[in-house]
Amino acid sequence: MNDEDQSAKIRTLNDAFRRSFQGGAVVLTAGIVALGSNVQDRIMAAVQAFDDFSQDNDPWGEHDFGTLALCGQTIFFKIDYFDPTRAMHSEDPTDPSKTERVMTIMLASEY
């Protein structure tokens, strides 16, 4: 598989995970938790709806990172690829049987 095909497959998997929160784990940092459940719900909905990917914020075309402003906060989300045990990075993020996606949603100040 060439790099372009690999990026396209990863992008498809990342978009499906981000939009549904199915097929991986979502981690909220302490800063996001401290905002309360109502704000958390708004942030999570905004992450699921996010589609402002560009060459500037997504140079590899994998849709694995995003930034958004909400409730006076700058929010980042980042998707990482682990092996199914989450002990190390996935050997092949295009293969769902070899990859556990983990999305961390954080305040920009926590990065």
pLDDT, tens digit, for every residue of 43-76? 999 999 999 999 988 999 999 999 999 999 999 9
CA-wise closest residue to 96 among 1, 37, 22: 22
Q: How confident is the model at residue 39 (pLDDT cuts 50, 70, 90)?
A: very high
Q: What is the pLDDT of residue 11?
A: 98
Q: Decide if pLDDT at 97 tops 80.
A: yes
3-state secondary structure string, 29-89?
CHHHHCCCHHHHHHHHHHHHHCCCCCCCCCCCCCCCEEEEEECCEEEEEEEEEECCCCCCE
SS3 state of residue 28: strand
Give the per-residue pLDDT at 1.
Answer: 75
Mean pLDDT, residues 83-89 taken together:
95
The residues pairing with 73 across neighbouring beta strands, listed in sequence order, are 70
Domain ranges of the chain: 3-110
Answering whether pTM is above 0.75, one says: yes
Residue 93 is given by DSSP the state T
